[in-house]
Structure 1
Amino acid sequence: MSLFWRMFLSNAAVLMLATGLLVGPWVTVSSPVLMHETLVLGGGLIAMLVANALLFRIGLAPLKRLTKAMADANLLEPGQRTRVTGGGELTELTETFNVMLSRLETERAESSCRALSAQESERRRVARELHDEVGQTLTAVILQFKSLADRVPRALHEEVITAQEAVRSSLDEVRRIARRLRPGVLEDLGLPSALRALVTEFSAPGVTVSHRVDGSLTALGAEAELVLYRVAQEATTNAARHSGASRIDLKLRAAGARAVELTVSDNGKGFHRATEGAGLQGMRERALLLGATLTLGSHGSGGTTVRLRVPLPTGGAI
């Protein structure tokens, strides 16, 4: 039965009941209306209003649930669906919304995959240009300074050496940036070695980073390893920049027989439902690519914990 007929028939039943009481021997109205008759009519009116309110509340409850589901829908947290109840237009509307949400989640995942793939390609291109072009140019400048240091007067020798060391420091920084953009260790030696290198090279004033990585993890796949590495990289950077932490702990371990879990925790000021920035949204989008679960919260002693749980591909083993 459609929503229109349900509401119409429920109201018709209330009106028919009221009419039957008025025309029957149970309720009579004098002229002028007596006080007790006024009380009876007023009570009947109140009863009709209450009955209508209850009927409308029950009839429109599925629509209210659907409205709340629409307001709470988040494509970065897939799998949320509205329970199909009622009948007629409401059932059709709820089913249509669920289908639309599934389609949007699929399209969002596909577009995120394309965007992240393009981002990684651009990172590799920039890293290659930094290493091959800027790196080679700075190396040539260092060699020129070295040659010049042997020919300049002694009074200028220290200045030339200082300039040479400044260029060498810039070269080291360019190489470090290139490694962060394109983690060659990840491609050559795998995720455990790449995470250890990430922690070793991580530098932030007053921040100590420790790691505990299970080196026996295998069969994760290149895509899963890249997602885990990027989430670890982003989480440690966010903790150092925004949490005011003095210590960051990074852990990678097996989570049962069918998943691996990455945890990045700090002792900073915690996460108090602040607005999610581009970094956290990027981590959520990367998690969607693998069907992984990303959770963020504060633990009892203060600080923030980022936890990424990645299911192993079918046929994979630890």
Structure 2
Amino acid sequence: MGGTGLALQALAGGYSVYGQAHGWPGTEFSSWVVNWVFFTGFGPLFLLPAFLPDGRLPSRRWRPVMGALIAGMAILQVLLMFRDMVWVWGSERPSPVGFVPTEIIAACFGVVVSAAAVVGALALGVRVRRAQDRRQLMPLLPAAVAIALAALVDSTHSGGTWSLGIWLLALTLPALPLATAVSIFRYRLFDIEVLIRRTVVYLLVAGLLLGAYVATVTTLNALFRQQGGVLESLLATGVVAVAFAPARDAVQRAVSRVLFGNRGEPAAALSHLGQRLEATAAPTELLDGAAETVARTLRLPSVAVLTAAEVPISVFGGVPDDGVRIPLLSGGRTEGELRAAPRSPGEPLTRADRAVLDDLAPHLAVALAAVRLATEVRDSRERLVKAREEERRRLRRDLHDGLGADLTTIGLRLYVIEATAPPELREQVTGIRELTQAIVGDVRRIVHDLRPPALDELGLSGALEDLALDTPRGPNIAVTIPEPLPALPAAVEVAAYRITQEALSNALKHAGAANVEITAKAVPGRLVLRIRDDGRGLPEPLHEGVGSGSMRERAAEVGGDLRRSSEPGRGTLVEAVLPL
């Protein structure tokens, strides 16, 4: 309404000035219109802050005040229509229908406008104080206060056509729409992005149809060598009419795909997700990119897949706090939840979006169930491996310190008995002694196979140094332990030892390395083991052999991870991260 009033004022004023100079009719009427229609666009600007941002007053208590102001503005509007003088672009002349003195109207104008501006600023201040997101309204508050101050100055210092108050109002009134634009585009006030998105398709269709119309008319004119013919216009209109529906559909699909993804093509969304799941090798990695696939398919800012314990397992753009939440059910069991945020705060997901998410949910639920089962199997294996290695360490200690020592003592006593036994018994005692020695050897072999002896005798640090010393002549091997290692689980010790053993073997057999560096460091919750050589590096293409697979399996058994990397001319790095 304000824009319409100001536009009519400009149109009537221009007609009045130009018409008088050229003798056009109706210039007096247009001059009269200028002097009251301007308030139709000018007045609402003072009340606008009171209704921001949702078109409602801060509370019902403001209704009587606002009603009185609107009534006062309506009365002022009528008085302006019957003002005794009219003003048009710097000059005043008698009004053809006016009789109310200008002084009375000026006084009423100052009171009404000042009151409206002050009330608008106060109402906006109350709204800012109560707002949850004050950033959206903060740019508007200084503009509203400035307009209120300018209106007060104008009402108390009016003295001439271009008084100080008029200048201040002229400077401050544009601040309100500018501040509104800042709030809209920077702080997403009114969520105008939704309206912009909806108009894109219609602007494109209009442009395409206009271009088709112009091209058709131009072509037909060239063919018939006429200009402005009825036949060409009819044919062009027919072509445009026939092309409108398919053109609109094509543009709608293209714009929808850009703005909303494949929500109109559920099969394509399912295909993308299926391809992503199919390309995943490890079961525990099935959902690594699922959230990103869903988000990019539907052009959503954030999507997350959570387990039943609300642990994020696949996240794109953060875990949404609002939006759609879809339970993921598989086999009658709730495996988790799919969360999807709206494209913007004021644009909730549509039924089409929800339908696609509902179609994707069962597939995500099956994948989430597979991840859960694979994780449970992995955790179970880790517990079994750790229990096995702890039991092996206990057995080795018992066999070495208990049974082994007892058998050794028995062997020594048999030596004594053999030396003093009668000749007829000596042969039997000798057989028993030799059998005992064989049993001692078997026990030692079993003890050695249960667990590398160096780990119990020297610890992991000493065992790695001992392993470097026992390596055949070849590369220079350096072992670096920056800080003393804490007491480690038996399974982690064995895994680190065997991984180092295999990495050294690979460096000797395949890398042709001159130097090998072994580093072991305990960080909170993890043991980081690195074996770096300066050999020829990994071959291209890389094929994982038995030894490399064994290292990876050793790390996986204890819940760790192993990576191999190589750069041309800089050797190979084997890095194992083992949880403690």
The TM-score bracket by the shorter chain reads: 0.5 to 0.7
The one-letter code sitting in structure 1 at the alignment partner of 2:245 is G
Q: Which residue does 1:28 correspond to in 2?
A: none
Q: Which residue does 1:18 correspond to in 2?
A: none
CA 1:73–1:39 in structure 2 vs 1: closer, same or farther (change >3 Å)?
Answer: farther
Q: Secondary structure at the match of 1:291?
A: coil
The reply to whether residue 260 of structure 1 matches residue 527 of structure 2 is: yes
Determine if contact 1:192/1:214 at 8 Å carries over to the other structure. no
Using the TM superposition, give the Cα deviation of residue 95 of structure 1 relative to its aligned residue in structure 2, in angstroms. 2.5
Residues 9-20 of structure 1: pairs in structure 2 closer than 5 A: none
Q: Which has the higher contact order (CA 8 A, sep 6+)?
A: 1
The reply to whether residue 185 of structure 1 matches residue 454 of structure 2 is: yes
Q: Which residue does 1:284 correspond to in 2?
A: 552
Q: Which residue does 2:63 correspond to in 1?
A: none
CA 1:104–1:311 in structure 2 vs 1: closer, same or farther (change >3 Å)?
Answer: closer
Determine if contact 1:66/1:94 at 8 Å carries over to the other structure. no
RMSD across aligned C-alpha pairs, in angstroms?
A: 4.1
Q: TM-score, normalised by structure 2?
A: 0.34
Q: TM-score, normalised by structure 1?
A: 0.57
Q: Which residue does 1:103 correspond to in 2?
A: 373
Residues 1-318 of structure 1: pairs in structure 2 closer than 5 A: 34=235, 37-38=238-239, 40-42=241-243, 44-49=245-250, 51-52=252-253, 54=256, 58-59=262-263, 60=266, 62-63=269-270, 64-75=272-283, 80=288, 82-83=290-291, 84=305, 87-108=357-378, 110=380, 182-203=451-472, 206-214=474-482, 216-255=484-523, 257-271=524-538, 272=540, 274-298=542-566, 302-312=570-580
Determine if contact 1:73/1:80 at 8 Å carries over to the other structure. no
Determine if contact 2:285/2:371 at 8 Å carries over to the other structure. no
Determine if contact 1:295/1:306 at 8 Å carries over to the other structure. yes
Kindly name which structure, 1 or 2, has the bigger radius of gyration based on alpha carbons: 2
CA distance in 1, matches of 2:451, 2:578: 22
CA distance in 1, matches of 2:450, 2:475: 22
Q: Secondary structure at the match of 1:306?
A: strand
Determine if contact 2:555/2:576 at 8 Å carries over to the other structure. yes
Q: Give every structure 1 segment of 4 or more consecutive aligned residues whose post-TM-superposition deviation is greater than 4 Å.
A: 33-36, 52-57, 75-79, 108-118, 178-182
CA distance in 2, matches of 1:248, 1:291: 26
CA 1:80–1:252 in structure 2 vs 1: closer, same or farther (change >3 Å)?
Answer: same
Using the TM superposition, give the Cα deviation of residue 46 of structure 1 relative to its aligned residue in structure 2, in angstroms. 4.4
Using the TM superposition, give the Cα deviation of residue 108 of structure 1 relative to its aligned residue in structure 2, in angstroms. 4.9
CA 1:92–1:75 in structure 2 vs 1: closer, same or farther (change >3 Å)?
Answer: closer
Using the TM superposition, give the Cα deviation of residue 261 of structure 1 relative to its aligned residue in structure 2, in angstroms. 1.3
Using the TM superposition, give the Cα deviation of residue 69 of structure 1 relative to its aligned residue in structure 2, in angstroms. 3.5
Q: Secondary structure at the match of 2:357?
A: coil
CA distance in 2, matches of 1:113, 1:304: 31
Using the TM superposition, give the Cα deviation of residue 262 of structure 1 relative to its aligned residue in structure 2, in angstroms. 0.8
CA distance in 1, matches of 2:285, 2:551: 12
Q: Percent identity?
A: 27
The one-letter code sitting in structure 1 at the alignment partner of 2:374 is L
Determine if contact 1:265/1:303 at 8 Å carries over to the other structure. yes
Determine if contact 1:251/1:263 at 8 Å carries over to the other structure. yes
Using the TM superposition, give the Cα deviation of residue 211 of structure 1 relative to its aligned residue in structure 2, in angstroms. 1.4
Q: Which residue does 2:161 correspond to in 1?
A: none
Using the TM superposition, give the Cα deviation of residue 284 of structure 1 relative to its aligned residue in structure 2, in angstroms. 2.4
Q: Secondary structure at the match of 1:58?
A: coil
CA 1:50–1:104 in structure 2 vs 1: closer, same or farther (change >3 Å)?
Answer: farther
Gaps of 5+ in 2: 1-233, 292-304, 306-339, 341-355, 396-443
